[in-house]
Amino acid sequence: MATEIDQQALEKLQAAAAAARQAAEAAQAYADQLAAGAYVASGGAIDPFVFRLAIFALAVFVGYYVVWSVTPSLHTPLMSVTNAISSVIVVGALISASVTVNADVDDGAGASRFYGFIALILASVNIFGGFLVTERMLSMFKKKG
């Protein structure tokens, strides 16, 4: 009975991992199409790497201004949402870090494990820091005495 349940859970986990891989491949294909479109539209003047780097830089600036313009009363709910997003990143990082490395085939599994581990550490720090900041914000509203 227990092995049957374990087998069903394993099958569901494998199906979820396959769906996550398909979603990541679709997102990568979309990003590649955008980068290729920018390359073609500019007559080859914009390298796809530069296009992706520009998107990343814009995301950093937008994120900075969005976070720093939040009023203090909305800070705690914002941190809760950030922690929820980071928990999804932790799941993806665990999947990425658990890729088996095949010595015969150089398919990037080692890099996947490395970046998965780095993502796991950074997301964990983000979650822990979010809880600390949330606790500090909530302590500001507690009555003293």
Q: Which one has a higher pLDDT value, 59 or 5?
A: 59
Q: Which range (5-14, 30-39, 60-69) has the least confidence?
A: 5-14
**What pLDDT does 5 receive?**
66
Q: How many CA atoms lie within 13 A of 16 on its CB side?
A: 10
C-alpha to C-alpha distance for 135 and 76, rounded to whole angstroms: 9
Q: Which range (6-10, 62-66, 124-128) has the least confidence?
A: 6-10
Mean pLDDT of the chain: 77
Question: pLDDT at residue 9 above 70?
Answer: no
- List of residues 6+ apart from 5 with CB closer than 8 A: none
Give yes or no for a contact between 76 and 137, defined as CB atoms under 8 angstroms apart: yes
pTM to 2 decimals? 0.47
**What pLDDT does 118 receive?**
92
List C-alpha distances in Å: 129 to 82, 83, 135, 136, 142. 11, 9, 10, 11, 20
C-alpha to C-alpha distance for 63 and 83, rounded to whole angstroms: 15
Question: pLDDT at residue 24 above 70?
Answer: yes
C-alpha to C-alpha distance for 122 and 50, rounded to whole angstroms: 25
Q: What average pLDDT does the segment 89-112 reach?
A: 78
